[in-house]
Amino acid sequence: MRRGSAALVPLLLAIMLLFWFIWFMGGESDNLHKVNQLENLQHTQERLILAACRKKQELYDANRSLTDEQLNVKVSQYIHNIMILNNIDEN
């Protein structure tokens, strides 16, 4: 027993270290995680910029009587739908 209990010390230390690490990472990675989600959203937004431009042109070519405002509303709707598909916007 005595020999065995001596061997438990580093094991317990290791377990404590692991818990500390979990605690430590919990706090830190929360920030990392948040940044990542934000980054993802922003990358999505960036990619959609050209799609929005093209969509507006496409809508205009299809129906030249639409006003700029109407076109913008339609483009917004289109991007909103894409965001829904990407699980970002809520329906």
Given the rule CB under 8 A, which residues bind other proteins? 22-23, 25-27, 29-31, 33-34, 37-38, 41-42, 45-46, 48-50, 52-54, 56-57, 60-61, 64, 68, 71-72, 75-76, 79-80, 83, 88-90
User: What's the min distance (Å) between Cβ of 13 and other proteins?
Assistant: 21
Q: Which long-range contacts (CB under 8 A, 24 or more apart) does 46-49 make?
A: 48/79, 48/82
* Rounded distance between C-alpha atoms, residue 18 and residue 21, angstroms: 5
Cβ–Cβ under 8 Å, residues 74 and 59? yes
User: What's the min distance (Å) between Cβ of 30 and other proteins?
Assistant: 3
Which pair of structure tokens corresponds to residue 17? 């270290």
Residue 7 or 90 having the CB closest to other proteins: 90
* Rounded distance between C-alpha atoms, residue 54 and residue 57, angstroms: 5
User: What's the min distance (Å) between Cβ of 7 and other proteins?
Assistant: 30
